[in-house]
Each structure stands twice: as structure tokens, then as C-alpha cells.
Amino acid sequence: MGSETCGVPAESVVGTQEVQAPVIAGIDGSEVAVRAAYWAAIEADARGVPLQLVHVAMHDEVSLEGLELVLTARQTVIDRWGRTCERPAPAIEPLVLAGDPAARLAELSAAATLLVLGDNQAGPLAGLLCGSVAVTLAGAARCPVALIRPLHNAASAVGPVLVAVEETESPALPAAFHAAATRHSTLLVADIRRRAVADGYLEDLVVRYQRQFPTVTVRSVTVAGDRHTALERFSATAQLLVIARDGHRKLRTPLNPTLHLALHHTHCPVLVQPEAKPAAAGSDHVDSHRTSALPAFG
């Protein structure tokens, strides 16, 4: 595979400037990828880091066509930002690579704060064809991965952030609080642990994070029946589902059954939090001056 690149050099490798782990958005020319790029711009602005728009050409040489896709996406993001937000958009760096898209983006994820991808493949055939890149990276990326879908309904654009808690110490919980604070939305904590735990430890964790994110209103629900049915129902009106990638089970696939369900049978955006980074760079910090006037994620 080729290793050519085309784009603007990153500030993080120039001179002695401090490295800023960017938010990375994958660009493939689809409408949902442009939606994902705008979503990624809001996340980059909230974190105070640059945004990198990346196109990976599936051949050995980069092309002007790929660079045009990235530049067009960047201009679309800037234009929409100008219509919805008074302050400037975050710095946006275009980058075009050659090779296998999943492999190259997985490499970049090692130095990223968040990887954002458009995903058109929600449904029983998810994971096939173009959707395989998103599903592969959900299990293999070394940073949190957000999969952005086409807007399913208007209500979900302003619905709650939903977090599915399978383990008491789930890294999804702090990430969900951050996401709710960024969006000024309610957080719905769905306890889907297999065994009922009556020690109150999860409730104590929620209270602790509420102190850290005092603007977030929390609702909690314990799922006693079919977890998959409940997750589908709760996610129908959610603007974001946050779920952890389970690294403790010895599975042939990096996707545990609940994450598999989330990727294949829900329609809202999904944020996959890796087990190795309970709090990704910037994920536990919210700049109140920035988030007070963020444009809408929808």
C-alpha cells in the first residue's frame, strides 16, 4: 500500500509547538460524511483542538479528486458554521492518504482525541460494503469513535444523550456526561448490567459526575428485561448513544453483543468509548465559554 500524503502540514509537527491531538473526520464524498465533518467541528471547538478532515484513497497514489472532496467538505463546514455561530470555526486541516481506509484511519487514531465517521449502514446488513470501515474502526481505533448517521427524525436532534452502562466502572459514563454538557441536554443513564447490583455504587458514580458537570440533568433507568429491545426503544429519540467497547471478553470480534446491536439496529449517532481510555484527551473537560454558544449538532 502506498504511503503518500497530500494536505497542509499539521501544527503538531512544526517546530517546537505543543502537540494538540486533533478531532479527525473521515471524508468519502457522501452527504453523511459531510454531516459527520460538521459534527466533528463542533466537538473540536468544544475541546479547543484542531479538526483534521481525512480522505483515504483505496489505491497506491493520492489524487486531486480526493483533495477536492476534502476541500469541498471543509468549505461546507465553514459556510454552515458561519450561518450558525458567531465565533470562527476551529482550525481545519485537509489530509489525503493512500491505502486501506480502515488501516490508515486506525493508525491516525493513535494520536487523535476523537475519530468521527459517517455511517449509512444502520440495519441488518450493517458491516457490509462501505459500512465495514465504520464497524471495523469502532472495534479497532485507539481513541473514541463517533458514528454519525443521517438525521432519523427531528425529535432526536434535541433528544437526550443516552448512555448504556454494562459495567459499573464503564468508561462510557464520564464520556456521556461530557457529551450531555457539551450539548446542554439531559442524560439518560440506562443500567443494563446483567446482574442486579444493589450496593448503590453506580448511583454514587453518577452523583460524583454530576458534581463535575453540574449543568447536566440526569434520569436513570434500570433495565430488568430484554436489554436489546430497551436499547432500541430508548435510542429512538436520543440524539447520541454512548457505549463502551468491552475489552474484557475473549471474543472473536472486538464488538460485544450490545455494541453490535448499537451499531446495527439503532439510528442515532453512536459514540464508542474504548476501554483503555476512560477519559480521552479533553473528554472530561468542557469549556463553558465555548459550549455556551455552540451551533446545533443536528
pLDDT-derived band at 10, boundaries 50, 70, 90: very low
Cα angle: 127, vertex 128, 134; to 5 degrees: 45
H helical segments located in the chain = 31-47, 64-84, 101-109, 131-140, 172-183, 201-212, 227-235, 257-265, 288-291
Query: 3-state class of 147 per DSSP?
Result: strand
Task: Examine the pLDDT at 138 and tell me if it is beyond 50.
Answer: yes
Sequence-separated (6 or more) residues with CB below 8 Å from residue 189: 163, 165, 173, 176, 202, 206, 218, 219, 220, 221
Q: Give pLDDT, residue 135.
A: 84
pLDDT at 276 over 70: no
Q: What is the pLDDT of residue 280?
A: 38
57 vs 54: CA distance, rounded Å: 10
Written as nine digits, the cell of 163 is: 448512555
Q: For residues 248 and 156, which has the higher predicted lDDT (pLDDT)?
A: 156
The residue-averaged pLDDT of 254-279 equals 76
- In this predicted structure, what is the pLDDT of residue 189? 95
Q: Which residue has the higher pLDDT, 226 or 12?
A: 226
- 55 class by beta-carbon count within 10 Å (0-12 exposed, 13-18 middle, 19+ buried): buried
pLDDT value at 57 more than 90: no
In this prediction, residue 290 has a pLDDT band, given cuts at 50, 70 and 90, of: low
Residue that has been written with the C-alpha cell 471547538 in this structure: 45
pLDDT band at 201; cut points 50, 70, 90: confident
Query: Which cell numbers hold the place of 59?
Result: 489505491
**pLDDT of 139 strictly over 80:** yes
Which whole number is the average pLDDT over 36-56?
A: 95
Cα 26 to Cα 249: distance, rounded to the nearest angstrom:
29
Report, as an integer, the average pLDDT of 30-57.
Answer: 94
- The Cα 255–Cα 293 span in angstroms is 36
**Using one digit for the tens of pLDDT, what is the confidence trace for 64-119?**
888 999 999 999 999 999 998 888 999 999 999 999 999 999 999 999 999 999 98
Reference 30, options 150, 151, 152; nearest CA is 150
- How far, in Å, CA of 20 to CA of 32, rounded? 26
Per-residue b/e over 122-150, b at no fewer than 16 CB within 10 Å?
beeebbeeebebbbbbbbbbbbbbbbbbe
- pLDDT of 293: 55
pLDDT band at 253, cuts 50/70/90?
Answer: low
pLDDT reading at 125 higher than 70: no
Report the pLDDT averaged over residues 175-187: 94
Rounded mean pLDDT of the chain? 81
Burial 227-259 (b: 16+ CB within 10 A, else e): bbebbeebbbbbbbbbbbbbeeeeeeebbbebb
CA 69 distance to own-chain centroid = 21
pLDDT band at 151 (very low <50, low <70, confident <90, very high): confident
Cell triple for residue 265? 439496529
pLDDT digits (tens, 9 = 90+) for 188-197: 999 988 765 5
Closest CA to 233 of 266, 189, 194, 270: 266
Contact (CB, 8 A) for 283 and 113? yes
